[in-house]
Every structure is written in structure tokens, then in C-alpha cells.
Chain A
Amino acid sequence: MPPQDPQPELALLARMKQGDEPAFVALYRRHKDAVYRLALLYCGSQQQAADVTQDTFIHFIGKPGQYDPARGSLASWLGGIARNLARKAAGEREIATDPERFGDDAAPFEEHIERDTPLEHLMRSETAELVRRALTGVAPHYRDVLILCELSELSYADAAQVCGIDIGTVRSRLSRARAQLARRLAALGAGTTAAQEAS
């Protein structure tokens, strides 16, 4: 996502802090879809995603001063709140784990692949559904960067801020995450590996 001039958004934020309702509504309209889709990817349920989105903006209403423009964009700050709430809503099954404990092809989260989530009913596209299922099987620390960088289109810097890691780690995790996702897709029959395409 190309960097945007933050000034108009900061001006809206300043007006919102002074009680300007239209300014809040404008900010909500700017970020609601991204927050909702991020929550949907983490929760897998429209209802939970709606709840998470609402709670994220309620937090924003109550504590707009917590957002520090020097530390990142408003989108990444809201994304971080939504991510935390969504992980909590998902029963904390996505509690951050030590990446060193898991190999890339180890499948400690395999049980999640078949977990019956309402998102299965949301995805109209078969391919999209396959990717979603494959994504569910990716280790959480890799899935984080896939969701944030690939599907929510946050910058590496913003994703690093959301996850609390440095940009270099985001890059390396993203490469590994893509490889793991490709293997999961191949295992589900939607091949992306060269070998599978050749066959």
C-alpha cells in the first residue's frame, strides 16, 4: 500500500478529540472495511468480526489519545487493536507462540484446518476458500504477517509495529509464511508448487 499523507487524517483526529462527530464518522468510514476484514481473517466468523470491529472503534472513541502518530499509521494502530481483540475472541487459540519451537512443516495447528468456522460459509470462491483453509493451517506467527502484509496490505513497518517485531523479522517471516502457505495449498490440492504444476 503506498504511503499516504497522514496530515488530513491527523486533522480529522484532532477534530475528533475535540468532540467533532463528523470527524469521527469520517475516520470510521476510512478504516471500517480494513478493520472488519482483518477481524474476519482472524476470527473466521462474520458475527465475531462485527463484534471485534465495533469494539475496536469503541476503544478508539474512548482512548484516541493512545494513538501516537510518531509510532505508525492510524490504520496499523487500529489493526493492532483489532488483531488483539480478534485473537481473544477466537478463544485465544492464536496466543503467540515461540516460532523457534516449530519447524516450518511441523503441523502443531493442523487441528485448526478442519475446525468448523463460519467463514467456510462466507467464501464464495472455491479458490478463496482453499486459500483460507490453507491459511488456517499456517503457524500463527507466520499467519500474522501473511494477514497483515498480504491480505490487509499494511506496510512492513506497520506490520512490525502491530506484531511487536522488527521489519527484518517481518520480511523473513513473510518469505517463510508464503512457502508454508504454498505447501498447505498443495496439500489441499490447489497446487502452487512447480512440481505440482508440472504434473
Chain B
Amino acid sequence: MTHDIRLLEPGEDTLLDLKLDELRRDLAAHEPPGAMEAILARRFRDSRNGASRPRLWWMPPLALAATIAVVSWIARMPVHAPVAAESPAAAEADAGPFLAIKPLERIALEPGRTIVRTTEFPRALLADWGLPVPPERAAEPVRAELLTTVDGEPLAVRLLN
């Protein structure tokens, strides 16, 4: 092998150019098949249609994140016990005694049709029901639960404070 090359003389260069011109002329007669343009144009159109279609890759992760957030919110939400202010069952569950302000016979006429409601009224009203009221506190409001008929007639009372 030798790396020693003799480059071309000017005349040889010209002759080689003439030979290369022949090959260039021959090549110039060659063109790609005419159908290729339509094939590529259709390919271009298809690729653009694919690109312009909305990409929904973000939908599954978004749906998953939303699900996790909702479940997490539900799990952390404080559980509110139903307010039983007007429930007869609530009155029964309370250990504190009711003081009857109507005859027991009268109360017995209303089984299952009584309501317990929380209310506030002047302490002096207790005197009307035969309960002791210190005169110096007669003007104070008092919170109490009243056992009433469905019509609102008080049957018994339980003081809350």
C-alpha cells in the first residue's frame, strides 16, 4: 500500500471533467417515479391530521388524580352525627330525668307522639309548672329540653344548665 499519490496534471483534470460531464448528463435523465409525490403528499396529510387531533394522553392521569382527591376528601371529611334536637329517641337516650309538668296520665296518652325540643325561656316560667325558682334568678333565661305533644303542648322539662 502506498499513500503517495500523483495528483492530476491540468490536461488530465480537463479530460476527467469531460468524463464526469458524461455521467452528469446521464444522471440528469433520471427522476424519481411520478407517483411518489402523491404518496408523500398523502403521507404528509395523514401525519398532519394525526398531529392536529387532540392528544388525550393527559386524561388518564388527570382522572386518577381527581379520583384520589375526591376519595381523600371524603375520607377526611368530619362525620356529623344527626342532630337529634327534635327526636324522641334522643330524649330517651339521655340519662337526665325529665320533670313532668303535666299529670302522668296525660303524658301516657301521647305514646310515640311526643317531641323533644331544645329551647330557652325565662326561669320564672318554671314556677308556673310548680318548680322552685330563686327570686334573684327569676329574670335569667334558662335552657331546657321540653317534651311536648305534636301540637306543642309541654308535657315535661329537663333543665340543661
Q: Which A residues have a C-beta under 8 Å from some C-beta of B?
A: 19, 21, 24-25, 28-29, 32-33, 35-37, 40-41, 46, 49-50, 53-54, 57-58, 61-62, 100, 102-106, 122-125, 127-128, 130-132, 135, 150-151, 175-176, 178-182, 185, 190-194, 197
Contact = CB atoms under 8 A, between A and B. Distances in A.
A34 to B, nearest CB: 10
Contacts of A130: 19
B23 A197 contact: no
Contacts of B51: 19
B1 interface: yes
Contact of A128 (B26, B44, B48): B26
B22 interface: yes
Contact of A179 (B5, B23, B32, B47): B5
Contacts of B109: none
Contact of A178 (B16, B22, B32, B33): B16
A151 B30 contact: no
29 contacts: A19-B48, A28-B41, A36-B30, A46-B30, A50-B36, A54-B39, A58-B43, A61-B43, A62-B47, A103-B1, A103-B3, A104-B3, A104-B5, A122-B30, A124-B26, A125-B22, A125-B23, A127-B19, A128-B23, A128-B26, A130-B19, A175-B7, A176-B7, A178-B8, A182-B16, A185-B16, A185-B19, A192-B15, A197-B11
Contacts, number: 130
A29 B37 contact: yes
A159 to B, nearest CB: 15
Given A178-B8, A185-B16, A21 B23 contact: no
Contact of A32 (B5, B22, B31): B31
Interface in B1-58: 1-9, 11-13, 15-16, 19-20, 22-33, 36-37, 39-41, 43-45, 47-48, 51-52
B39 to A, nearest CB: 7
Given A25-B37, A54-B39, A37 B30 contact: yes
B40 A54 contact: yes
B8 to A, nearest CB: 5
Nearest to B42: A21
